[in-house]
Amino acid sequence: MPAFTFEKISPPVRRAPAATVPKKPRGLISQLIDRVAERRAKRALQGEQAMRRDNKPAE
């Protein structure tokens, strides 16, 4: 006969988020940075595609 027993504890119940916090409008500086980053990414992809075309062996 065991000297002690363990009580089974159930996991905590997950609650839905209380209230969604409205997002603040993004600042002008962050919008400008996003535009610049997007253009750089597009340019990098175009350059990568051009390099792939140039590096293909001629058949």
Give the pair of three-digit tokens for residue 50.
Answer: 């051009």
Total-model pTM: 0.41
Between 9 and 19, where is the model more confident? 9
Please check the confidence at residue 57 and state whether its pLDDT lies above 60.
no
